[in-house]
Structure 1
Amino acid sequence: MGGAAQAAETSADTAAVAKIVEVLRAAMVAGDGKVLKAVLHDRLTYSHSDGHLQTKAMVLDELAGKNSFASLALSDQTIDVVGNVAVVRHIFDSVNNLPEGKTSSAHIKVLQVWVKAGKGWKLLARASTPIKA
Structure 2
Amino acid sequence: MIKKIIFTIGFLMTFAASAQKVNDNEAVTSIAEKLRLAMISGEKTALESLILPELTYGHSGGHIDDAKEFVEKLVSKKSDFLTIDITNQTINIVGSTAIVRHHFYATTADFGKDPGDVTLDIVLVWVKTGNGWKLLARQAVKSGKKK
TM-score normalized by structure 2? Answer: 0.85
Deviating above 2 A after TM superposition, structure 1's stretches of 4 or more consecutive aligned residues are: 98-102
**Which of 3, 11, 16 is matched with 2:22 structurally?**
11
Give the CA RMSD over aligned residues: 1.7
Pick which of 101-110 and 74-83 moved more.
101-110
| Residue in structure 2 matched with residue 51 of structure 1 by the alignment | 62
| Residue in structure 2 matched with residue 28 of structure 1 by the alignment | 39
| Residue in structure 2 matched with residue 85 of structure 1 by the alignment | 97
Matched, 1:107 2:119: yes
Secondary structure of the corresponding residue to residue 38 of structure 2: helix
Secondary structure of the corresponding residue to residue 37 of structure 2: helix
* CA–CA separation in structure 1 for the residues paired with 2:18 and 2:72: 39
| Residue in structure 1 matched with residue 49 of structure 2 by the alignment | 38
Structure 2 unaligned blocks of 5 or more? 1-11
Secondary structure of the corresponding residue to residue 13 of structure 1: helix
Q: Which one has the largest radius of gyration?
A: 2
* CA–CA separation in structure 1 for the residues paired with 2:99 and 2:119: 20
* CA–CA separation in structure 2 for the residues paired with 1:14 and 1:99: 35
Contact 2:120 2:140 in 1 (8 A): yes
* CA–CA separation in structure 2 for the residues paired with 1:81 and 1:2: 18
User: How many pairs does the alignment contain?
Assistant: 133
RCO (CA 8 Å, sep 6+): is it higher in 1 or 2? 1
Q: Deviations over 1:44-81 (max 9, x none)?
A: 00001111100000001101253711111111000111
Secondary structure of the corresponding residue to residue 2 of structure 1: helix
| Residue in structure 1 matched with residue 9 of structure 2 by the alignment | none
TM-score normalized by structure 1? Answer: 0.93
Contact 2:58 2:64 in 1 (8 A): yes
